[in-house]
Structure 1
Amino acid sequence: MALSPHAAEDVVARRPAPDRLRRRVAELLASAGVRLDGTAPTDLRVRDPRFFTEVLSRGSLGLGETYMDGAWETDDLDGLLTRLMRARLHERVHGLDAWWTVARATLLNMQSRRRARRVGRVHYDLGNDLFRAMLGERMVYSCGYWARAATLDEAQEAKLDLIARKLELAPGMKVLDIGCGWGEALKFMAERYGVSGVGVTISKEQAALARELCRGLPVEIRLQDYRELDGRYDRVFSIGMFEHVGLRNYRRYFDTVRRCLAPDGLTLLHTIGSNVSVRATDPWIGRYIFPNSMLPSAAQITQAFEGLFVMEDWHGFGPDYDRTLQAWRANIERAWPSLPARYDERFRRMWRFYLAASMAVFRTRQAQLWQLVLSPDGVPGGYAAVR
Structure 2
Amino acid sequence: MQPSQHLTPAKAFSPDSPAAHPPGLLHRLAAESGFRFNGSDPWDIAVADRRFYRRVALQGSLGFGEAYMDGWWECERLDQLFHRLLRVDADRRIERWVNLRRLGAAARRLLVNPQSRRRAFVPGEHHYDIGNDVFEAMLDPTMSYSCGYWVRARTLDEAQHDKLDLICRKLELKPGERLLDIGCGWGGLARFAAEHYGVEVLGITVSREQQKFAAARCAGLPVRIELIDYRDLAGRFDKVVSVGMFEHVGPRNHAAFFAIIDRVLAEEGLLLVHTIGNYVTSREVDPWIDKYVFPNGHLPSAAEITRAVEGRFLIEDWHNYGPDYDRTLMAWWDNFERAWPALCGKYGERFYRMWKYYLLSCAGFFRARQGQLWQVVMSKRARSAMYRSVR
TM-score normalised to the size of structure 2? 0.92
AA aligned to 1:201 is: T
Match of 2:194 in 1: 190
Between the aligned partners of 1:23 and 1:283, the Cα distance in structure 2 is 22
Q: Which stretch has the larger CA shift, 340-349 or 317-326? A: 340-349
AA aligned to 2:55 is: E
Match of 1:171 in 2: 175
Deviation string 1:1-29 (CA, Å, 9 cap, x unpaired) is: xxxxxxxxxxxxxxxxx779724333431
Q: Does 1:305 align with 2:309?
A: yes
Alignment counterpart, residue 140 of structure 2, candidates 136, 144, 154: 136
Deviation at 1:168, TM superposition (A): 0.4
Q: What is the DSSP-based 3-state SS (H/G/I as helix, E as strand, rest coil) of the residue aligned with 2:203?
A: strand
Aligned pairs (5 A) from 1:47-58: 47-58=48-59
Between the aligned partners of 2:164 and 2:184, the Cα distance in structure 1 is 12
Match of 1:61 in 2: 62
Deviation string 1:103-147 (CA, Å, 9 cap, x unpaired) is: 211221100011121111100000100000001211000000011
Contact 2:23 2:53 in 1 (8 A): no
Between the aligned partners of 1:91 and 1:204, the Cα distance in structure 2 is 35
Match of 1:22 in 2: 22
Q: What is the DSSP-based 3-state SS (H/G/I as helix, E as strand, rest coil) of the residue aligned with 1:339?
A: helix
Alignment counterpart, residue 360 of structure 1, candidates 357, 364, 386: 364
Deviation at 1:378, TM superposition (A): 5.5
Q: Does 1:43 align with 2:44?
A: yes
Match of 1:180 in 2: 184
Match of 1:14 in 2: none
Match of 1:290 in 2: 294
Between the aligned partners of 1:56 and 1:70, the Cα distance in structure 2 is 17
Match of 1:239 in 2: 243
AA aligned to 1:81 is: F
Between the aligned partners of 2:327 and 2:192, the Cα distance in structure 1 is 22
Between the aligned partners of 1:353 and 1:83, the Cα distance in structure 2 is 15
Match of 2:373 in 1: 369
Contact 1:98 1:283 in 2 (8 A): no
Aligned identity (percent) is 54
Structure of greater relative contact order (alpha carbons < 8 Å, 6+ residues apart)? 2
Contact 1:106 1:279 in 2 (8 A): no
How many pairs align? 370
Between the aligned partners of 1:309 and 1:69, the Cα distance in structure 2 is 47
Q: Does 1:321 align with 2:325?
A: yes
Match of 1:337 in 2: 341
Deviation at 1:357, TM superposition (A): 1.0
Q: CA separation of 1:381/1:116 partners in 2, compared to 1, >3 Å: closer, same or farther?
A: closer
Deviation string 1:328-364 (CA, Å, 9 cap, x unpaired) is: 0000000000115231111110100101111111001
Specify every segment of 5 or more residues in structure 2 that has no aligned partner in the other structure, as ranges. Answer: 1-17
Alpha-carbon RMSD across the aligned residues, in angstroms, is: 1.4
Match of 2:227 in 1: 223
Q: CA separation of 1:144/1:19 partners in 2, compared to 1, >3 Å: closer, same or farther?
A: closer
Match of 1:81 in 2: 82
Between the aligned partners of 2:58 and 2:290, the Cα distance in structure 1 is 18
AA aligned to 2:282 is: V
AA aligned to 1:269 is: V
Between the aligned partners of 1:29 and 1:340, the Cα distance in structure 2 is 33
Find runs of 4+ consecutive structure 1 residues off by over 4 angstroms: 18-21
Q: Which stretch has the larger CA shift, 271-280 or 168-177? A: 271-280
Deviation at 1:74, TM superposition (A): 1.1
Q: What is the DSSP-based 3-state SS (H/G/I as helix, E as strand, rest coil) of the residue aligned with 2:381?
A: coil
Contact 1:238 1:270 in 2 (8 A): yes
Between the aligned partners of 2:125 and 2:285, the Cα distance in structure 1 is 18
Between the aligned partners of 1:276 and 1:383, the Cα distance in structure 2 is 29
Between the aligned partners of 2:280 and 2:29, the Cα distance in structure 1 is 24
Contact 2:283 2:298 in 1 (8 A): yes
Between the aligned partners of 1:381 and 1:215, the Cα distance in structure 2 is 34
Q: CA separation of 1:19/1:319 partners in 2, compared to 1, >3 Å: closer, same or farther?
A: closer
Deviation at 1:381, TM superposition (A): 5.4
Q: What is the DSSP-based 3-state SS (H/G/I as helix, E as strand, rest coil) of the residue aligned with 2:241?
A: strand
Deviation at 1:85, TM superposition (A): 1.1
Q: Does 1:71 align with 2:77?
A: no
Match of 1:4 in 2: none
Q: What is the DSSP-based 3-state SS (H/G/I as helix, E as strand, rest coil) of the residue aligned with 2:315?
A: strand
Q: What is the DSSP-based 3-state SS (H/G/I as helix, E as strand, rest coil) of the residue aligned with 2:201?
A: strand
Contact 2:267 2:382 in 1 (8 A): no
Contact 2:20 2:37 in 1 (8 A): no
Deviation at 1:98, TM superposition (A): 3.3
Between the aligned partners of 2:28 and 2:300, the Cα distance in structure 1 is 33
Match of 1:256 in 2: 260
Q: Which stretch has the larger CA shift, 335-344 or 39-48? A: 335-344
Q: Which stretch has the larger CA shift, 175-184 or 273-282? A: 273-282
Alignment counterpart, residue 214 of structure 2, candidates 210, 216, 224: 210
Between the aligned partners of 1:381 and 1:191, the Cα distance in structure 2 is 26
Between the aligned partners of 2:277 and 2:23, the Cα distance in structure 1 is 36
Between the aligned partners of 2:244 and 2:84, the Cα distance in structure 1 is 27
Deviation at 1:56, TM superposition (A): 1.2
Match of 1:12 in 2: none
AA aligned to 1:185 is: L
Q: What is the DSSP-based 3-state SS (H/G/I as helix, E as strand, rest coil) of the residue aligned with 1:126?
A: coil
AA aligned to 1:85 is: L
